[in-house]
């Protein structure tokens, strides 16, 4: 049978690509969505222009505080006048280039490490050399650099030292604790479980308190352990306990066959772990490991409790200056930007590592 009737003429398809279509499909597809879109646009209109006005248009960049107070924009003069104290704390003013250079070195080595092709033993030595260089720059005492004691360190370098050192020591400690917790040896397992539960059971702030308030009372007269070291140890202990549980999570994802195969190859316990189990386990838990790194980085701001002047504390101290009282918004926005830069970079860095390692399951 032949159909002789002319079928309906179908018009050209409605545009499905491009901005117009996207907007049509997602923002105005029904009356309800249209209303929602309108409300959102109105809210944005209420919020965004005043913010931009405050941030940039009405902002003052370099005028004295009294004039700043009269204006209704942001007073970035506060940052311009105080950024050196905020970034470097009590580090001697004329030597500020040293911590600045140390941070720069750290940034460069981190950027270098992004490229997987350069991951080898040489890079490891390069890291060691960099750390040594940073320590020399900060501490001085050799190569004609004036010695600067640790109690004068502050600001961004202090935040970085506390978090990077904390992570570097806590990571291996956390792995050992995780292995210990999975161990068949009862004594070791009990110790590891006890440690992890004890540390996880108290807030970091109480560990810092113990380290700074209680600990000195038990020391003999005249023996004073550096406050920085005390806080650093508390941070390491804390991060290690959390990392241990994350790593244990990774260990549990490894099928039993892997352990058995490794044993069948005649590998010792440590060889099994180092060559077979841990490389797989640690790879799986990269996201949650980085999670802990990021929170460790932010937790370092709690050292203000023990009166160390990290980035946040130096900002607060600048805000107490009678000349600049009341510019806390500007101050906190400034540190928030710095914190965000570091945390966001860490998160991008971990995504990069994940891609490079390209785990296949």
Site residues (vs another protein, CB under 8 A): 69, 81-82, 84-85, 88-93, 151, 154, 203, 205-206, 209, 212-214, 216-222, 224, 304-307, 309, 313, 316-323, 325-326, 328
Residue 166 beta carbon to another protein: minimum distance, rounded to whole angstroms: 20
Q: E strands along the chain, which residues?
A: none
Residue 233 beta carbon to another protein: minimum distance, rounded to whole angstroms: 17
Structure tokens at 31: 């009356």
Residue 228 beta carbon to another protein: minimum distance, rounded to whole angstroms: 12
Residue 95 beta carbon to another protein: minimum distance, rounded to whole angstroms: 11
CA 138 – CA 92 distance, rounded (Å): 11
CA 86 – CA 337 distance, rounded (Å): 13
- Pseudo-torsion of CA 109, 110, 114, 118, nearest 10°? 30
CA 313 – CA 4 distance, rounded (Å): 86
Cβ closest to another protein, residue 161 vs residue 247: 161
Contact 163, 300 (CB under 8 A): yes
CA 273 – CA 278 distance, rounded (Å): 5
Can you tell me which residue has the tokens 């999670």? 291
Residue 35 beta carbon to another protein: minimum distance, rounded to whole angstroms: 33
Q: What are phi and psi of 145, to 5 degrees?
A: -85, 135
Please give the C-alpha separations between residue 261 and each of 216, 269, 273, 276, 277, in angstroms, as whole numbers: 51, 12, 12, 9, 11
Cβ closest to another protein, residue 91 vs residue 106: 91
Residue 357 beta carbon to another protein: minimum distance, rounded to whole angstroms: 38
Cβ closest to another protein, residue 35 vs residue 229: 229
CA 117 – CA 161 distance, rounded (Å): 27
Residue 66 beta carbon to another protein: minimum distance, rounded to whole angstroms: 9
Residue 314 beta carbon to another protein: minimum distance, rounded to whole angstroms: 8
Cβ closest to another protein, residue 148 vs residue 179: 148
For 75, the 3-state DSSP assignment is strand
Please give the C-alpha separations between residue 23 and each of 20, 35, 41, 46, in angstroms, as whole numbers: 5, 14, 13, 22
Closest to 79 in 3D by CA, of 287, 334, 348? 334
Q: E strands along 84-210, which residues?
A: none
Cβ closest to another protein, residue 70 vs residue 142: 70
Closest to 56 in 3D by CA, of 73, 69, 78? 73
Please give the C-alpha separations between residue 360 and each of 39, 96, 224, 307, 316, in angstroms, as whole numbers: 44, 47, 52, 47, 47
Q: What are phi and psi of 320, to 5 degrees?
A: -85, -10
Residue 164 beta carbon to another protein: minimum distance, rounded to whole angstroms: 23
Residue 332 beta carbon to another protein: minimum distance, rounded to whole angstroms: 9
Cβ closest to another protein, residue 28 vs residue 209: 209
Cβ closest to another protein, residue 177 vs residue 207: 207
CA 59 – CA 76 distance, rounded (Å): 7
Cβ closest to another protein, residue 90 vs residue 127: 90
Cβ closest to another protein, residue 126 vs residue 305: 305
Cα diameter, the chain: 110
Cβ closest to another protein, residue 12 vs residue 220: 220
């Amino acid at each position: 049978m032949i159909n002789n009737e002319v079928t309906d003429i179908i018009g050209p398809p409605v545009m499905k690509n491009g901005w117009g279509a996207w907007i049509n499909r997602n923002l105005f597809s029904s009356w309800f969505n249209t209303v929602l879109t309108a409300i959102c646009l109105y809210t944005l209109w209420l919020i965004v222009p005043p913010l931009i006005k405050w941030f940039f248009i009405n902002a003052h960049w370099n005028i004295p505080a009294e004039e700043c107070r009269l204006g209704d924009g942001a007073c970035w003069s506060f940052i311009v006048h105080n950024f050196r104290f905020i970034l470097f704390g009590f580090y001697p003013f004329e030597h500020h280039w040293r911590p600045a250079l140390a941070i720069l070195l750290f940034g460069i080595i981190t950027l270098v490490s992004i490229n997987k092709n350069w991951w080898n033993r040489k890079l490891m030595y390069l890291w060691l050399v960099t750390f040594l260089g940073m320590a020399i720059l900060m501490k001085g005492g050799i190569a004609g650099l004036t010695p600067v004691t640790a109690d004068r360190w502050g600001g961004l370098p202090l935040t970085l030292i506390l978090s990077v050192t904390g992570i570097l020591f806590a990571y291996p400690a956390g792995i050992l604790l995780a292995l210990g917790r999975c161990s068949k040896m009862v004594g070791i397992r009990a110790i590891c479980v006890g440690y992890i539960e004890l540390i996880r059971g108290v807030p970091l702030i109480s560990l810092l308190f113990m380290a700074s308030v209680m600990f000195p009372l038990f020391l003999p007269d005249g023996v004073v352990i550096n406050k920085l070291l005390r806080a650093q140890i508390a941070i390491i202990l804390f991060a290690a306990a959390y990392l241990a549980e994350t790593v244990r999570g990774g260990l549990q994802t490894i099928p039993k066959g892997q352990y058995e195969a490794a044993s069948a190859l005649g590998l010792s316990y440590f060889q099994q772990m180092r060559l077979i189990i841990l490389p797989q386990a640690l790879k799986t838990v990269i996201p949650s490991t980085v999670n802990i790194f990021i929170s460790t980085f932010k937790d370092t701001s709690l050292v203000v409790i023990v009166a160390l002047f990290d980035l946040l504390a130096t900002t607060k101290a600048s805000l107490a200056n009678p000349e600049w009282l009341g510019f806390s918004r500007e101050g906190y926005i400034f540190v928030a930007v710095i914190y965000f830069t570091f945390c966001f970079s860490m998160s991008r860095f971990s995504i990069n590592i994940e891609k490079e390692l390209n785990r296949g399951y």
